[in-house]
Amino acid sequence: MIVSTAVAQRRAIFVLALTLALAGTRFVTQTWAAGAIAIGKCGAYGQAYDFAGEAAARAAALKQCKGDCTAVTMKRACAALAIDMTNPCGAHGYAVKPHISSSLNTATRKCYEFGGKECVIRAWACDAKG
């Protein structure tokens, strides 16, 4: 089978465009891959994800959190916060892990380790993983 030059050129341009599009999506997910979760007293929290840098993500999470809050950053990961529902101002736990399941489990376990009686997930967020 003989392919004309015009058809070959169109195929080459299509392959090039597809390659550039795929490369562009990888660049975007890697560039916008910073996040943060802010943790405050009595179950207060704030979250931010898919920011260009960790400083911007931290500022956005702290802005959402009411009261005296601290922020934990994440980059291409997931963060979770668990609080004790019997005493929201008491025990809590948080975790930043590569996968959502491990961050949820670890945050809940830490809440119980710090004295929680009925620990539940209050907030979670995952950032771009590429």
* Residue range 10-49, pLDDT digits in tens: 665 655 555 655 554 444 444 557 999 999 999 999 999 8
Helix (H) or strand (E) holding 33: none
The residue range of the domain holding 17 is 1-31
pLDDT at 107: 97
pLDDT at 15: 55
Total structural domains in the chain?
2
27 and 47 inside one domain: no
- Percentage of residues of the chain with pLDDT beyond 90: 64
112 and 62 inside one domain: yes
Of 58, 32, 55, 56, nearest in space to 47 by CA: 58
16 and 48 inside one domain: no
Measure Cα distances from 11 to 1, 16, 25, 55, 75 in Å: 16, 9, 21, 44, 38
65 and 93 inside one domain: yes
pLDDT at 44: 94
51 and 23 inside one domain: no
64 and 88 inside one domain: yes
38 and 65 inside one domain: yes
pLDDT at 25: 45
pLDDT at 27: 43
pLDDT at 18: 56
pLDDT at 24: 46
pLDDT at 67: 86
- Strand, coil or helix: 86: coil
pLDDT at 33: 78
pLDDT digits (tens, 9 = 90+) for 58-98: 999 999 999 899 999 998 899 999 999 999 999 999 999 99
